[in-house]
Structure 1
Amino acid sequence: MAILKDLQKVISSDDSKRVYRQREQDFTRHRVPAFVGLVVSQINLMSRSLSVEVSRLVERFLGIGRDCSKQAFSQCRRKLRAEAFTALRQRLVEQFYADGECRK
């Protein structure tokens, strides 16, 4: 559980938002989906249509009752750098093996 809290802290930080956006202007407004919602949705493996998954994401994770269009989601996704997921994966691996109790 500590690993998930650490990842949540990393995803929610202003530093992550600043480092992993394409341009300085990206993710500066309070829009749906926001930076955190976008990252969480990309990590959460989508199994339904994009419109259903985006609606579910907005309702569940962001607690907002309004919808987000597929086009808005796709435009937002283009603003996110792929390095964000590489850094999150690396952080997850470091946290997983941090206690030194893994078996070989």
Structure 2
Amino acid sequence: MAIEITDQNFKELVLESDKPVVVDFWAEWCGPCRMVGPTIEEISGEYEGRAVVGKLDVDSNQEYASKYGVRNIPTVLVFKGGEVVDKHVGVVPKSVYTSSIDTQL
């Protein structure tokens, strides 16, 4: 299951991770976010132990959404070594996300 990422734990879970990290920036009211959600959950299970996969609710956690210029949701950022290495805005196929992760493994 995807972990909950917040402004409070972002540095520890994302920026200081020794594994690739996928962060789904989303909101409860966002229809396309609900379409991406199950895909993120699937990826979380498939990459368990190899990558960190989490969701950040932009309504409750605006600091990092603002810092990374997230203006449209869903936005999925892929981090490696604390840096953004890939970005996907809107609904994209699962293979796009997994390809981004595989590149970083």
Q: Shared fold by TM > 0.5?
A: no
**Which is richer in strand?**
2
TM-score, normalization by structure 2: 0.27
Q: TM-score, normalised by structure 1?
A: 0.27
Structure of larger gyration radius: 1
